[in-house]
Structure 1
Amino acid sequence: MGIDWQRYDPGGFYDELMAAPGQPRPAARTLANYLASLGDAEIQERRLAAEHAILEMGISFTVYTEGGNIDRAWPFDIIPRIIPLEEWIRVERGLRQRLTALNRFIDDLYNERRIVRDGVVPEAVLAHSRNFREQCRGMRPVHGVWAHICGSDLVRDADGCFYVLEDNLRVPSGVSYMLENRQVTKRVFPELFEHHSIRPVDEYPAQLFDMLASLSPRPMDYPQVVVLTPGIYNSAYFEHAYLAQRMGAELVEGADLRVAEDDCVYMRTIEGPARVDVIYRRIDDLYLDPEVFQPDSLLGVPGLMRAWRAGNVALVNAPGAGVADDKVIYAFVPDMIRYYLDEAPILPNVPTYLCMDPRQREHVLAHLDQLVVKPANESGGYGMLVGPHATPEQRQAFADLIRRDPRNYIAQPTLQLSTAPTLCDGAVEPRHLDLRPFVLQGVRSDVTAGGLTRVALRRGSLVVNSSQGGGSKDTWIVDTDPGD
Structure 2
Amino acid sequence: MGITNETPAPSLPSRFYNEMYDGAHVRSHYGKVHEQLSRMSAEDRIARQDKMNGRLLEEGITFTLAGTEQPDALERTIPFDLIPRIIPADEWELIERGTRQRVRALNAFLADIYHEQCILKDGLIPRRMVMGNRYFRTEMMRLSVPGGAYVTASGIDLIRDEKGAYYVLEDNLRSPSGFSYVFKSRSIMTHDFPELMFSYPVRGIERFLSDFKASLRKLSPTDKAEPVIALLTPGSYNSAYFEHTFLAQQLGIELVEGRDLVCRDHKIYIRGLSGYKKVDVLYRRIDDDFLDPLAFRPDSLLGVAGLMNSYRYGNITIANAPGTGVADDKAIYTFVPEMIRYYLNERPILSNVPTFLMSRRDEREHVLGRLEEMVVKETSLSGGYGMLVGPSSTEAERERFAAKIRENPDNYIAQPTIKLSTSPISLDGRMAHRHIDLRVFALADGANVHVLPGGLTRVAMKEGSLVVNSSQGGGVKDTWVLAR
TM range (shorter): over 0.9
Aligned position for 2:453: 449
Mapped partners of 1:185, 1:311: distance in 2: 44
1:194 Cα offset (Å): 2.3
1:174 Cα offset (Å): 0.8
Mapped partners of 1:4, 1:96: distance in 2: 38
Aligned position for 2:53: 51
Mapped partners of 1:6, 1:55: distance in 2: 31
Residues 162-177 of structure 1: pairs in structure 2 closer than 5 A: 162-177=166-181
Mapped partners of 2:177, 2:21: distance in 1: 30
1:306 aligned residue (306, 309, 312):
309
Aligned position for 1:154: 158
Q: Deviations over 1:327-349 (max 9, x none)?
A: 00000000000000000000000
Structure 2 contact 43–429 (Cα < 8 Å) conserved: no
2:17 aligned residue (3, 14, 18):
14
Mapped partners of 2:122, 2:417: distance in 1: 33
Residues 432-447 of structure 1: pairs in structure 2 closer than 5 A: 432-443=435-446, 444-447=448-451
Mapped partners of 2:12, 2:281: distance in 1: 50
Structure 1 contact 2–39 (Cα < 8 Å) conserved: no
Structure 2 contact 231–282 (Cα < 8 Å) conserved: yes
Q: Deviations over 1:97-124 (max 9, x none)?
A: 0000000001100110000000111113
The answer to whether 1:241 aligns with 2:245 is yes
1:9 Cα offset (Å): 5.5
1:146 Cα offset (Å): 0.4
Structure 1 contact 436–453 (Cα < 8 Å) conserved: yes
The answer to whether 1:376 aligns with 2:379 is yes
Q: Which stretch of the first structure deviates more once superposed, 231-240 or 200-209?
A: 200-209
Q: Which stretch of the first structure deviates more once superposed, 378-387 or 203-212?
A: 203-212
Q: Structure 1's 411 and 182: CA in aligned 2 closer, same or farther, altered over 3 A?
A: same
Aligned position for 1:100: 104
Mapped partners of 2:152, 2:392: distance in 1: 37
Instruction: Determine helix, strand or coil for the equivalent of 1:163.
Output: strand
The answer to whether 1:220 aligns with 2:185 is no
Residues 392-411 of structure 1: pairs in structure 2 closer than 5 A: 392-411=395-414
Structure 1 contact 10–419 (Cα < 8 Å) conserved: no
Mapped partners of 1:180, 1:47: distance in 2: 15
- What residue ranges of structure 1 are gaps of 5+ in the alignment? none
The answer to whether 1:251 aligns with 2:255 is yes
The answer to whether 1:88 aligns with 2:92 is yes
1:63 Cα offset (Å): 2.9
Q: Structure 1's 56 and 8: CA in aligned 2 closer, same or farther, altered over 3 A?
A: farther
Q: Which stretch of the first structure deviates more once superposed, 51-60 or 64-73?
A: 64-73
1:31 Cα offset (Å): 1.4
Q: Deviations over 1:415-437 (max 9, x none)?
A: 01000001123320111000101
The answer to whether 1:287 aligns with 2:290 is yes
Mapped partners of 1:6, 1:240: distance in 2: 40
Mapped partners of 2:31, 2:244: distance in 1: 37
Q: What is the aligned length?
A: 478
Mapped partners of 2:7, 2:332: distance in 1: 46
Q: Structure 1's 161 and 7: CA in aligned 2 closer, same or farther, altered over 3 A?
A: closer
Aligned position for 2:39: 37
Q: TM-score, normalised by structure 2?
A: 0.96
Structure 1 contact 437–447 (Cα < 8 Å) conserved: yes
Q: Which stretch of the first structure deviates more once superposed, 119-128 or 342-351?
A: 119-128
Q: Which amino acid aligns with 1:424?
A: L
Mapped partners of 2:7, 2:136: distance in 1: 53
Residues 246-395 of structure 1: pairs in structure 2 closer than 5 A: 246-261=250-265, 263-395=266-398
Mapped partners of 1:73, 1:370: distance in 2: 33
Mapped partners of 2:139, 2:457: distance in 1: 36
Structure 1 contact 130–323 (Cα < 8 Å) conserved: yes
Aligned position for 1:417: 420
Q: Which amino acid aligns with 2:177?
A: S
Mapped partners of 2:139, 2:56: distance in 1: 42
Instruction: Determine helix, strand or coil for the equivalent of 1:327.
Output: coil
The answer to whether 1:134 aligns with 2:164 is no
Structure 2 contact 10–23 (Cα < 8 Å) conserved: no
Mapped partners of 2:200, 2:345: distance in 1: 38
1:24 Cα offset (Å): 1.3
Q: Which amino acid aligns with 1:423?
A: S
Aligned position for 2:127: 123
Instruction: Determine helix, strand or coil for the equivalent of 2:331.
Output: helix
1:10 Cα offset (Å): 6.6
Q: Structure 1's 36 and 426: CA in aligned 2 closer, same or farther, altered over 3 A?
A: same
Instruction: Determine helix, strand or coil for the equivalent of 1:333.
Output: helix
Mapped partners of 2:5, 2:260: distance in 1: 54
Structure 1 contact 279–314 (Cα < 8 Å) conserved: yes
Q: Which amino acid aligns with 1:134?
A: T
Aligned position for 1:203: 207
- Report percent identity of matched pairs: 48
Q: TM-score, normalised by structure 1?
A: 0.96
Q: Deviations over 1:385-411 (max 9, x none)?
A: 011111111111100000000000000
Q: Deviations over 1:211-257 (max 9, x none)?
A: 10111111122110100000011111110011001111110000111
1:56 Cα offset (Å): 2.1
Q: Deviations over 1:264-290 (max 9, x none)?
A: 111112211011110000010010001
Q: Which amino acid aligns with 1:181?
A: S
Structure 2 contact 62–239 (Cα < 8 Å) conserved: no
Mapped partners of 1:9, 1:143: distance in 2: 52
Q: Deviations over 1:270-312 (max 9, x none)?
A: 2110111100000100100011101111111111011111111
1:3 Cα offset (Å): 5.1
Mapped partners of 1:405, 1:384: distance in 2: 15
Structure 2 contact 65–471 (Cα < 8 Å) conserved: yes
1:11 Cα offset (Å): 2.4
Structure 1 contact 3–35 (Cα < 8 Å) conserved: no
